[in-house]
Amino acid sequence: MSSEALMFQATDVVTKYSESIGYHVPVQELPLPQDFRWGTATAAYQIEGGADQGGKGRSIWDTFSHLQPSRTNGEHADVACDHYNLVAEDVDLMSTLDTDVYRFSLSWSRIIPSGGRKDATNEEGIAFYDKLINDLVKHNIEPVVTLYHWDLPQELYDRYRGFLDTDEFRADFIHFARVCFSRFGDRVKKWVTFNEPYIISIFAHLNGTLAPGHCIEQGTDTKTEPWRVGHTIILSHASVVQLYISEFQPKQDGAISIVLNGHFYEPFNAQDQADIDAAERRMVFYIGWFGDTIFLGQDYPVAMREYLGVRLPTFTSEELELLRLTARNNAFYGMNHYSTKFARQLTDPPADDDWTSNIEEGPVNSDGVEVGPASAQQWLRVAPEGFRKLLRWVWKRYQLPIVITENGCPCVGEEDVQVAINDTFRQRYFGLYLDAISRAIYQDGIDIRGYYAWSLMDNYEWAAGYGPRYGIVHVDFETLKRTPKNSAWYLRDTFRRRRQASS
């Protein structure tokens, strides 16, 4: 998720630090329901390593992270945290922290090295995930499994450019999902189809900052391709939900949905109707793009149709019927959230491939008030009230139980191991955001079921390499030693206290 740093836009407005709400709100340790579930989250490419082990095929991230000149800070994840070889140690660590849940992703190219529906399945890859899932169950940790977290098999990109061929990708993804449901569904009761389709569409196929690196400089059609990618994801998700509900859920009794990321947007000038409208429209373009189609079973939001015109694909009547039929079978809203931004409506003509509805976003408003204190990444600010407002926005629009599937931050100075372990900034961030969840549950009446911290351990943060550290466990990337940070113990203890307080 740290690729969002590349979207940060500076402002010339003088910051008035003392006026920012994020500097003054105390952590109150507010209660949470006794059945509220907490855990951690990771992604396969970011932690597994084992790039050439166990019959794994290459993914687009194996290729992208080795490009020259480097587009990933000169770093790759061939070893990363070596979770592939240290999986038992990592599950023991989770158990020590009293986690209820572990959300992780499956490497498609570890399970089907070439990726396609006619390609061979890799039993060594299946065995690795079998061991992980069995160890989790043995330790009473619920496995929550993401099918796709950005690491498309390279062979599928070479064959038909991946997401840009909707029919081919959809067929191959359905096959991959079927293999996973068949082999792991007896123990996995919560599935996620895609992680952050917005990022896949925009960052990987318009800005080019993530694999496979599509951008206008590479001669690709950034006016239409990101929207085609989103279209492919929506239809592939619906098809896999249909598959699961019809063939697997009756026996396995599990649930399935998707994870959407999103900031909350405040108007840059709260007295300017154009900025007020821009903040709402930015939410629609960011979240409604996928949320309205997937959770409401509708066509794309009107605001998107009006602004994008022919750049936005159309659904056939049969596809719209599929969306309507599967919308009610999404069991929860998976929310990845990190921060809040201000939205400002621009008046200059937009670029031909503009994806924001000509809206600028940043951390400071027209009065010079900062949205919150900055973490180690300038775009990620401590803004718990924005988080609560986003929970309200999503609940009002979709009326689905919410699971916070990612939330966290990096701290300044974590290159020093002692600073990293004594991570008071991160502890306060967690405390404030958990308080916001409590208020949303008990004061706003929102059904929120769980919270998964990003991330279990420091890992490979995509294009940013090993710079920003989001883990609650410190990893020495030379020795691979794991050391829990104080935030890990804080989360263990605060969940004990908060759940007891509700009894």
Burial 101-139 (b: 16+ CB within 10 A, else e): bbbbbbbbbbbbbbbbeebeebeebbebbeebbebbeee
Nearest to 336 by CA among 390, 255, 395, 400: 390
> Whole-angstrom Cα distance, residue 54 to residue 349?
52
**pLDDT at residue number 23:** 74
What is the 3-state secondary structure of 197-235? HHHHHHHHHCCCCCCCCCCHHHCCCCCCHHHHHHHHHHH
pLDDT recorded at residue 502 = 85
CA distance 82 to 44: 10
Scan for tokens 């029919």, then name that residue. 167
- Whole-model pTM? 0.95
How far is it, in rounded angstroms, from Cα 261 to Cα 116?
28
Backbone angles phi, psi at 235, to 5 degrees: -70, -35
Q: Could you give the residue numbers annotated as active site? A: 196, 406
In the block, residue with structure tokens 């396609």:
116
Element (H, E) at 280: helix 273-283
Closest CA to 380 of 264, 475, 487: 264
pLDDT at 2: 36
Work out the end-to-end distance of the chain between its first and last CA atoms, rounded to an integer number of angstroms: 35
At residue 22, the pLDDT reads 63
Question: How confident is the model at residue 19, as a pLDDT?
Answer: 43
Distances (CA, A) of 278 to 53, 197, 246, 332, 384: 48, 22, 41, 28, 21
Strands 482-484 and 473-475: antiparallel
* 10-residue stretch averages of pLDDT, the chain, 503 residues long: 33 36 83 98 99 98 97 98 98 98 99 98 98 98 99 98 98 99 98 98 97 92 98 99 98 98 98 98 98 98 98 98 97 98 98 97 96 97 97 98 98 97 98 98 98 98 98 98 98 97 85
Token output for 333? 């809203």
Q: What's the gap between Cα 42 and its chain centre?
A: 10
Tokens read off for 117: 């529906």
Q: What is the pLDDT of residue 6?
A: 30
Tens digit of each residue's pLDDT (9 = 90 or more) over 125-149? 999 999 999 999 999 999 999 999 9
The C-alpha atoms of residue 210 and residue 201 are separated, in whole angstroms, by 10
